[in-house]
A and B are shown apart, each in its own frame.
Chain A
Amino acid sequence: MWDYTEKVKEHFLNPRNVGFIEDADGVGEVGSMACGDALKLSFKLDENEKISDAKFQTFGCASAIASSSALTEIIKGLSLDEAMQVTNDDIAQYLGGLPKQKMHCSVLGRDALEKAIAYYRGEPDKKIEGEIVCECFGITNLDIRRAVTENGLTSIEDVTDYVKAGGGCGNCHDKIGAIIAEVNGTAIENKPKPKALTNIQKIRLVEETLEREIKPVLKKDGGDIELVDFDGNRVLVKLHGRCSTCAASQVTLKDYVQAKIQELVAPELEVEEVS
């Protein structure tokens, strides 16, 4: 039996956003029944080109369904540029982690998202690029290289867990080994750097910090705060209630809100008020 986190089980048993948006702006379909999992993602944009709604249909195991559900939750409210930065690791982390052999479910989600965005932007299908390495699952050298680079993979088994390549007949194991050696040979010196938070992770943490730490304090004084946008390292917020008219609001903002966010999320973040 797989060792799924409670969050995976919860998203599997109560998946969010199941379905298909009929007048969708972006649609991405990846996988196939033969492969054992497939995902059809659709999203709708609002007037500011932000994802206002996202829905999925998935054929696959519990972690594939949970990953799809997580993906739709993650991308809601994001601009397309922000959504482009969502990685498979973001999906896995949102779920509190996935068993290693199930990481390909998170990659499936990322691929569907990219396809849906490319569809909206009218970009040609990327899949045709590269040459097929794994015949069984139709995985190209570019897919494998990307998985190895982004996730720091070091073995053929890892590659199979993330993109399935090498999980069938095994004839391509030598080729996969060569790609791993090539990528790691050039990338090794960059590797020990601590992994910076992705934008998605930052946004999530900022939201959490606002909800849990900051709002309760401001509310005691009859004020409130709302996250409006996120631009690089600038956290744009709006103050409400008494805060919006308070003369000391800038002090509150910099000395309290920003300090808290820098402490709990990342030191490079700046908080600014927008009107």
Chain B
Amino acid sequence: MKTIYVDNNATTKVDPLVVEAMQPFFTELYGNPSSMHSFGGQVGGAIEKAREKVAALINASAGEIVFTSCGTESDSTAIRAAIAANPEKRHIVTTRVEHPAIKNLYEQLGSQGYRTTFVPVNSAGELDLDYLYDNLTDGTAVVSIMWANNETGVIFPVAEIAAEMRKRGIVFHTDGVQAAGKVPIDVQATGIDMLSLSGHKVHAPKGVGALYIRKGTRFSPFLVGGHQEGGRRGGTENVASIVGMGKAAELAGSHLKNGRMEKVAQLRDRLEKGLLENVPRALVNGTVESRLPNTTSISFEYVEGEAILLMMDQLGICASSGSACTSGSLEPSHVLRAMGVPFTAAHGSIRFSLSTYNTEEEIAYIVENMPPVIARLRTMSPFWNEQAGSAAGR
């Protein structure tokens, strides 16, 4: 059976060109970039090339990029650097819909004495900007707002927020892990101080990330050790993966320019439309006005997400769900809950996230095969029977 992979916000396929670029660094080019000999030195050169490519994707300069092991490390590094630079400020701000890499870090800092503010969103998943601005004080050390949400794809107005934070002299970090490569990012045009990136969301391998740190931002390393990364991150570099991330950033940049992402958006729209037309009581979570081109979160009312995913799995379709059962926790997605999505819908939410690898045939296959899965599960649901009359009467 063919695998149809529409779970690209979870992770992506490593591009063959990326694999090719990495290959020599597993075999002949194994030197340590910190070594004095030219054998190691050439490896250091490859890292610097990769740094330039990653910088180019977000219009930064190479010196502003620090390679890390993942998006989570980038997030932790940024927030801890910001609070270390402002030890007298004990208030930190983020949103209620962040990735666990920020959400749980803030909760931990909260338990260690920091005052935390989690900015709410409306039912469309849009940030309450008034709430954000009203809650800032002189004691606010850092504000961290994700560029785009991983579950719904909703994009926040980070450029606008960054400009406001700059005016107020508050450090501003954004988790750009889901946005990078999917929408244009220009850090020079905005007042962003720090921005997190992850390799494996943009067709590089798992185990590599990057943090953009605007020149002049006060910084202290999270991993303390050798002088690698200009003293900003200790530890011998994950050379092959860094080279891979450089190549992936280059490819992502060209996809943004040559219209490949628009193609992805068209496929996403076709999928969304096809499912909404063929499945009654299905609705999109989050605004469609300002959204990543590859993501749609659809709730199928009165059925449960894990059951949907396992039936999709039988068809070779890979996606995700915000249902409680898929996580092992008993609560549905904190993102959908923050949006006030009713339980009837939150438990039955499925996230489809596409990539440039998806084809029209794959989308047609999903649109054809998903509706019977939902219909079958609904025949088993005690709630569907009761609702069928009213649903059919509409």
Contacts and interface: CB of A to CB of B under 8 A. Distances in A.
A39 B302 CA distance: 13
Interface stretch (A55-63, A177-185, A216-224, A244-252): A55-63
Interface string B308-329: 0011001000000001111011
A230 interface: no
B324 A36 contact: yes
A18 B310 contact: no
B325 A39 contact: no
Interface in A48-66: 56-62, 64-65
Interface stretch (A85-93, A116-124, A160-168): A160-168
Contact of A61 (B323, B331, B379, B385): B323
Q: Decide if the interface of chain A is mainly helix, strand, loop or mixed.
A: mixed
A52 B311 CA distance: 31
A38 to B, nearest CB: 6
A168 B307 CA distance: 22
B25 interface: no
A106 to B, nearest CB: 14
B302 A59 contact: yes
Nearest to B311: A13
A168 B331 contact: yes
B190 interface: no
Interface residues of A, number: 31
Interface residues of B, number: 27
B253 to A, nearest CB: 34
A109 to B, nearest CB: 14
Interface string A64-108: 110000000000000000000000000000000000010000000
Contact of B383 (A33, A56, A62): A33
Contacts of A164: 330
Interface in A127-180: 136-137, 160, 164, 167-168
B310 A62 contact: yes
B103 to A, nearest CB: 16
A29 interface: yes
Contact of B307 (A39, A56, A60): A60
A92 to B, nearest CB: 16
A56 B380 CA distance: 8
A136 B343 CA distance: 13
Given A20-B385, A160-B330, A59 B303 contact: yes
Interface string B107-149: 0000000000000000000000000000000000000000000
Given A18-B379, A34-B343, A38-B382, A60 B304 contact: yes
A62 B381 contact: no
Contacts of A167: 329-331
Interface in A29-53: 29, 33-34, 36-40
A101 B311 CA distance: 20
B347 interface: yes
Contacts of B343: 33-34, 36
A30 to B, nearest CB: 10
Given A2-B306, A59-B303, 14 more contacts: A13-B311, A20-B385, A33-B302, A33-B343, A33-B347, A36-B324, A36-B343, A38-B383, A40-B382, A57-B381, A57-B385, A59-B302, A59-B383, A64-B307
When A and B form their complex, which 6 residue pairs have the shortest distance between CB atoms, in order from nearest? Answer: A167-B330, A61-B325, A61-B306, A57-B382, A40-B382, A34-B343
5 contacts: A36-B343, A57-B382, A58-B381, A61-B323, A167-B329
Interface of A: 2, 9, 12-13, 15, 18, 20, 29, 33-34, 36-40, 56-62, 64-65, 101, 136-137, 160, 164, 167-168
